[in-house]
């Protein structure tokens, strides 16, 4: 059973089918005409459109799982993918959860818990307070101890939500309220912690796969520095601009921390990198949105591997068998607003050698407003970064989505931003002035 919707549900359905498993989709009322419902072998409506009544409703999902006598549940990303209560409910019923087990999840159920594990392992972390706080006076005390600028972060955050930068102490109280509210609305939890604000870092992450027998390998790194409001919009694999020695250290640390928590399945360890220093950020114990670019450069189907691992297979891949082949880039196409409507009137997809598209939208599809804004993932793969950028520029030109306002033009501009092209960029690229170049490479 696939406990998710959208493009990731389709990705999982395809992997299951290739492995010869029958698939069951769940859906909310508004999703009844979605492709994840059409393409699954069976489907079951689990509630109304509000996620709390459907994709976030453990009781409804478990009832569906029992009714359909499912063997395993894949959670995708977002929704309940990292929810301990959900995983425990699945385990209690003897159903296979396609993700890490509850005892591993418990150890990393908040960002501060994970940071404490990193400290014990001597893995560099961003200076900050080490326990979650539910009280403004504590926030204030820690903020002054650490020194402004700081970040206030939801201890249970994800997707860039529940993070605010505070430069001026006068803004602290307001920022705290905003983070608490956003965190309550998005994750149902209100605790926060404080971190030093790292100026202009790069976001680098390590893709991990681990089986149930203690074997853990990495599938290389991804760079996800191009972000809007702390949410990734462009990712690359590998990263062309980090020092090899630093990369090796950070990959080793990622493996060490995952071994320490007996991690199984696919997971990611995220870091911020600034100059010649790296800092552990968090562990994402699930498949990530941007897993596809790692698949392109390694040739490994990460979702199929997850499923095989869950059914008790040994991980057959060895680190030495994984040459990183060329360069891959992903652009996340998001609906930016629905001011001009939410129905896809027309869609033309690019194609050709080295172009991959993961999407659930089609001509005539209406995008529900209560779910994720991600509508399509456009990925390209070429022998090197320059050729990958050239390919992405053309693919974006030939991607036409009419009917819904989206960010294709922004992404196209970034593919022509001098700083992006020459590799001189960080997570704040879009907050600073950008120089645009033509279709050449400014050489």
Determine, following the binding rule CB under 6 A, whether residue 232 of this chain makes contact with ligand ADP. yes
> Which residue of this chain has its Cβ atom nearest to Mg ion in the complex?
270
CA distances in angstroms from 171 to 149, 167, 177, 432, listed in the order given: 11, 8, 10, 22
- In the complex, the smallest distance separating the C-beta of residue 83 from ligand ADP, rounded to whole angstroms, is 7
Tokens 């279709």 identify what position? 439
Q: Are 333 and 399 in contact (CB under 8 A)?
A: yes
Is residue 155 near ligand ADP by the rule CB under 6 A?
Answer: no
Among 193, 197, 365, 425, binds ligand ADP (CB under 6 A): 197
Matching residue, tokens 């704040």: 428
- Please name the residue ranges forming H helices in 94-168: 102-107, 111-120, 136-146
Figure out which of the listed residues 126, 273, 361, 392 binds ligand ADP, where binding follows CB under 6 A: 126
Beta-bridge partner residues of 270 = 205, 282
Shortest distance, position 227 Cβ to ligand ADP, whole Å:
5
* Residue 163 in contact with ligand ADP, rule: CB under 6 A: yes
CB 369 within 8 A of CB 342: yes
Roughly how many angstroms between the first and final C-alpha of the chain, as a whole number?
Answer: 51
157 binds ligand ADP (CB under 6 A): yes
Which residue, 193 or 365, has its beta carbon nearer to ligand ADP? 193
CB closer to ligand ADP, 152 vs 307: 152
Burial of 16 (0-12, 13-18, 19+ CB in 10 A): buried
User: How many Cβ atoms are within 10 Å of 93's Cβ, its own excluded?
Assistant: 12
Torsion sign across C-alpha atoms 341, 346, 352, 356? positive
- Angle among Cα 200, 218, 111 to the nearest 5 degrees reads 50
When asked if residue 407 is in the footprint of ligand ADP (CB under 6 A), the reply is: no
Give 114 or 264: the residue with its C-beta nearer to ligand ADP.
114
Of residues 68-87, those binding ligand ADP (CB under 6 A): 77-78, 82
281 binds ligand ADP (CB under 6 A): yes
Q: Determine the interface stretch with ligand ADP among 27-35, 152-160, 245-253, 292-300 (rule: CB under 6 A).
A: 152-160
Which residue, 55 or 77, has its beta carbon nearer to Mg ion?
77
Pair 201, 274: CB distance under 8 Å: yes
Our finding on whether 201 is near ligand ADP (CB under 6 A) is yes
Strand partners, 374: 334
* Partner that binds at residue 187, options ligand ADP, Mg ion, none, CB closer than 5 to 8 Å by kind: ligand ADP
Pick one of 124, 159, 326, 368: the residue that binds ligand ADP (CB under 6 A). Answer: 159
In the residue annotation, 222 being an active-site residue is answered as no
- Name the β-bridge partners of 96: 72
Q: Does 10 bind ligand ADP (CB under 6 A)?
A: no
Beta-carbon contacts of residue 165 (< 8 Å; ≥ 6 apart):
149, 150, 151, 175, 197
Q: How far is the CB of 199 from ligand ADP (least distance, A)?
A: 7
CB under 6 A: which stretch of 97-105, 196-204, 312-320, 393-401 binds ligand ADP? Answer: 196-204
Nearer to ligand ADP by C-beta: 71 or 88?
88
Nearer to ligand ADP, 345 or 428 (CB): 428
- Residue 285's SS3 state is coil
CA distances from 106 to 88, 99, 113, 296, 416 (A): 10, 13, 9, 32, 43
| Tokens coding 287 | 């498949």
Closest separation in Å from C-beta 287 to ligand ADP? 7
* Residue 100 binds ligand ADP, judged by CB under 6 A: no
Q: Which of 5, 164, 286, 332 is catalytic?
A: 286
**CB under 5 A: which stretch of 21-29, 264-272, 407-415, 430-438 binds Mg ion?**
264-272
Q: Of 155, 159, 161, 166, whose CA–CA distance to 132 is shortest?
A: 155
Positions marked catalytic? 286
Contacting residues toward ligand ADP, per CB under 6 A: 77-78, 82, 126, 151, 157-161, 163, 187, 195, 197-198, 201, 203, 227, 230-232, 270, 281-282, 284, 288-290, 372, 427
Residues binding Mg ion (CB under 5 A):
270
């Amino acid at each position: 059973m696939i406990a998710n919707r959208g493009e990731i549900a389709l990705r999982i359905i395809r992997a299951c089918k290739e492995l010869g498993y029958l698939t069951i989709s769940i859906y909310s009322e508004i999703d009844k005409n979605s492709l994840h419902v059409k393409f699954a072998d069976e489907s079951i409506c689990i509630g109304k459109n509000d996620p709390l009544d459907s994709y976030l409703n453990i009781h409804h999902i478990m009832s569906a799982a029992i009714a359909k006598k499912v063997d395993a549940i894949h959670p995708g990303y977002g929704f309940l993918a990292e929810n301990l209560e959900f995983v425990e409910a699945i385990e209690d019923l003897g159903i296979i959860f396609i993700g890490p087990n509850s005892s591993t999840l418990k150890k990393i159920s908040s960002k501060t818990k994970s940071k404490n594990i990193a400290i014990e392992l001597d893995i560099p972390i961003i200076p900050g307070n080490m326990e979650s706080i539910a009280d403004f006076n504590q926030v204030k005390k820690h903020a002054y101890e650490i020194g402004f600028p700081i970040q206030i972060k939801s201890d249970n955050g994800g997707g860039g939500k529940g993070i605010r930068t505070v430069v001026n102490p006068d803004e602290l109280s307001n920022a705290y309220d905003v983070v608490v509210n956003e965190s309550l609305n998005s994750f149902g939890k209100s605790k926060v912690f404080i971190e030093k604000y790292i100026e202009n870092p790069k976001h680098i992450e390590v893709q991990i796969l681990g089986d149930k027998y203690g074997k853990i390998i990495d599938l290389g790194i991804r760079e996800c520095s191009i972000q809007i409001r702390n949410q990734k919009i462009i990712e690359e694999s590998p990263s062309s601009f980090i020092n090899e020695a630093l990369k090796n250290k950070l990959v080793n640390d990622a493996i060490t921390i995952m071994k320490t928590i007996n991690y199984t399945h696919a997971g990611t360890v995220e870091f911020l990198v600034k100059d010649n220093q790296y800092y552990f950020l968090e562990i994402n114990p699930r498949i990530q949105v941007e897993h596809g670019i790692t698949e392109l450069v390694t040739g490994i189907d990460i979702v199929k591997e997850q499923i095989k691992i869950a059914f008790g297979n040994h991980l057959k891949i060895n680190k030495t068998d994984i040459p990183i082949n060329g360069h891959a880039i992903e652009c996340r196409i998001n609906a930016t607003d629905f001011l001009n409507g939410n129905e896809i009137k027309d869609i033309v997809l690019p194609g050709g050698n080295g172009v991959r598209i993961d999407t659930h939208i089609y001509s005539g599809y209406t995008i529900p407003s209560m779910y994720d804004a991600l509508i399509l993932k456009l990925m390209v793969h070429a022998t090197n970064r320059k050729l990958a950028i050239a390919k992405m520029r053309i693919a974006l030109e030939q991607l036409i989505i009419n009917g819904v306002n989206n960010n294709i033009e922004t992404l196209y501009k970034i593919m022509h931003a001098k700083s992006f092209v020459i590799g001189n960029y960080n997570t704040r690229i879009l907050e600073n002035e950008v120089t645009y170049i033509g279709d050449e490479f400014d050489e």
